[in-house]
Structure 1
Amino acid sequence: MALAFAGTAAGIVIWPAYLAGVPDNTGMGVVCGPDGRGYRDVPAYGGLPPHPIIVQAVPPARLPSDAAPAWQWHDIRDTGVLQLAACVRLLSDTPSGEFCSYTRGLPQVAEQQEVRTARYEITVFELRTHRVIDRQEMVGDHDACPEYKLADKAVYTGLSDAQLHAALDRHVDRPG
């Protein structure tokens, strides 16, 4: 967490450095980054549900293509109502023994890419204070081959929409 310092007659006062305003689709890097910070102008996590949440995958992690639309930036109309942020990080991976087939180049060349079984960490933060609400690990069970892959990039099992719901619904649907 980033800290701000101020000198006083009594000594040094330390408090978390929060960002003004509300996040946008570029601001989640600040929330999910190594020096994560909260946004002081968003509502506190509390009161009756629902508790709006945004989910951000930290590369190379990805959200499933069928992820709930309410968790994606393009479907959030007012980021000023967000109370929670969930950051998804890849922790480790192992060979799965399964392969995906791709073609590349001209002339097209067939290529096999082994799918790697991925273990993810999902950390839920109160967006206002950057306080950790929950942290859990899950092994991705979504093993469908992506439609395409970037050159020299691994292919990982992903978290399914059902896994995201299992991890996050209890925070969205219960009183804070």
Structure 2
Amino acid sequence: MGIPLAGALLAPLAIASGVGYALLAPPRHGRRWLVVYERGFVDARRAEPARVVLWEWTLGRVEAGVIVVRLDGAAEPTRVALDGLEPHADLVDAIDQRVTPVIVAHLLAAVRHGEQVVFGPLAVSADAIAEVTDGVHLPLERLRSVRLVGGDRIVIGEVGAARAWFSGAVPAAPVAVRVIAGLRPTASVIMPDPAETLAERVRQRRHRAVASLAGLVALALLPGVAWAAVGPTDDEEPAGPVSTRAASPSSESTASPTPSLSPGLPESVFQYSAACVGRGFPGAPAYQGAGPHPIHVHDGPSVRGPANWYTEDVTKIQLVICGASSTGRVLRKCEYLGIGNDSRDVTQDMVLGRYAMEIREARTARVVGQVRFDGEDDKCRLGLFGRQVDEKQQVSVPFGSQIEAALTKYVDAYVE
């Protein structure tokens, strides 16, 4: 740096050499190649055979970044760890977005067959959510909303309650939210939009690229600036004017838009609810051919038809069920003796629940049918818990057989 010309030449060379070494040096765990395509992904490490994994081979997730798969022809499951890929978060997200619906579908099928699924402090069954520590239950018909916060916390709202029924960290929180929403389609589900998350990451990456490039340019110009500040000595001829022009970082730092993984399809099955307001998804399969035609239920009473009516695969949804409900006449009185802290008697009206469902094609959002029925299950609750004591009425709900009978002619029919 003592010789101005040598410093001006050697400083950028030293910086470029350091950056080149950082980029070209092999990572701690060795080199790895990961390729994501429409049916799965390929994972290859140096000196190891490549593993080809299809999305449908996914069995579950052990922890963040570790999935369990059964490879083709393998007798035992295999753990695939997506570690060491922090700089490539978009790639990991692409795998997670495809793997999560498969895991959710497995868990929903297990719950619907009578099993209980545990997510840390919460246990989910076909009829209720329970806190593992104290055993407090929330019947699914009382579930008002489920919200994912910060990627690892869940907030669950109860019908008629001002405060959250549960709020806390839950392992595999995105999966837990989707399982709960699949069991209670009428609940309000709030999750971050993957497109917005990706856009924010692209903006952050662009800002880091601009800052890094500006720092490198400043370091490269530092020797020349220092020499210009000192200036030539009296016995030296002043150097002629030198024109310098720094390259514009805009073209290098602007991230190209990330293409959608599935053009014309939503990111998750929950976004098919947009069909209820007239927005179709051109990438969805047409409502035609032999049944069953997989459904997504946006709103209305809980629909528990055969397992083959449901799927978490956005490429298979053909129908969207849009529900609405109202109440009718009083059917009977539900009387409870010695309820609450003050042991008072409570009487509530059992009113008739009236339900309407509009069946729409997922691809075009056109209405293919409408059904209406009354809730025939008008049994009073066995007991009242918490804020149920202050409610004025109960509403009759349909039996699962009612809903299944009403929708069968659309879901299981052969369509020309």
Alignment CA distance shift 1:112-1:158 (3 Å): same
TM (norm. structure 1) is 0.67
Structure 1 residues 139 and 129: alpha-carbon distance in aligned structure 2, compared to 1, 3 A threshold = same
Where does structure 1 lack aligned partners over 5 or more consecutive residues? 1-18
- Name the structure 1 match of 2:268: 24
Identity of aligned residues (%): 26
Give the residue type in structure 2 aligned to 1:160: F
Give 1:5's aligned residue: none
After superposition, the C-alpha distances for 1:103-153 in whole angstroms (9 at most, x for unaligned) are 865456542221111221111111111111111211111223457675547
Q: Would you tell me which structure has more strand in proportion to its own residues?
A: 1
How far residue 25 of structure 1 moved from its aligned partner, in angstroms, is 5.5
Q: 1:157 is aligned with what amino acid?
A: S
* 8 Å Cα contact 1:63-1:158 kept in structure 2: no
> 2:295 — aligned with what?
53
1:119 to 2:354 alignment: yes
Which residue of structure 2 aligns with residue 77 of structure 1?
A: 312
Structure 1 residue 130 and structure 2 residue 372: aligned?
A: no
Query: What code does the residue aligned with 1:84 have?
Result: L
Give the conservation status (yes or no) of the 8 Å contact 2:291–2:412. yes
Partner in structure 2 of residue 8 of structure 1:
none
Checking the alignment, whether the CA contact within 8 Å between 2:280 and 2:364 is kept in structure 1 is: yes
**1:38-85: CA deviation from partner (whole Å, max 9, x where unpaired):** 222211100122211223334xxx326xx236389xx63323211011
- Partner residue of 1:68 out of 283, 305, 311: 305
Cα distance in structure 2, aligned partners of 1:25 and 1:110: 45
Q: 1:94 to 1:24 in 2, by over 3 A?
A: farther
Listed as ranges, the gaps of 5+ residues in structure 2 are 1-262
2:403 paired with 1:159: no
Q: Quote the Cα distance in structure 1 between the aligned partners of 2:314 and 2:275.
A: 14
Q: 1:119 to 1:71 in 2, by over 3 A?
A: farther
- 2:379 paired residue number: 144
Distance in 2 between residues matched to 1:141 and 1:38, nearest whole Å: 33
Q: How many residues align?
A: 149
The question of whether the paired residues in 2 share the 8 Å contact of 1:49 and 1:173 is answered with yes
Change (3 A) 1:88 1:70: farther
- Specify which structure has the higher proportion of helix: 2
Moved more, 37-46 or 152-161: 152-161
Retained in 2: the 8 A contact 1:93–1:116?
Answer: yes
- Bigger relative contact order, structure 1 or 2, given CA contacts below 8 A and separation 6+? 1
- Per mean C-alpha deviation after superposition, the further-off stretch among 144-153 and 163-172 is 144-153
TM-score for the superposition, normalised by structure 2: 0.31
> Closer, same or farther in 2 for the Cα pair 1:111/1:167, shift >3 Å?
same
Distance 2:371 2:317 in 1: 21
- 2:62 corresponding residue in structure 1: none
Q: Kindly tell me: are residues 102 and 25 of structure 1, through their superposed partners in 2, closer, same or farther at Cα, counting changes over 3 Å? A: farther
Aligned partners of 2:268 and 2:314 also within 8 Å: yes
After superposition, the Cα gap between the structure-2 partners of 1:109 and 1:76, relative to the gap in structure 1 and judged at 3 Å, is farther
Shift in alpha-carbon separation, 1:156–1:81, aligned structure 2, 3 A: same
Q: Is the contact made by 1:113 and 1:155 (CA closer than 8 Å) also made in structure 2?
A: yes
* 1: CA distance, partners of 2:315 / 2:294: 10
Q: Which amino acid aligns with 2:410?
A: H
1:53 and 1:106 map into 2 onto residues whose CA distance is 45
Higher-Rg member (1/2): 2
Aligned to 1:12: none
How many Å separate the matches in 1 of 2:290 and 2:337?
Answer: 48
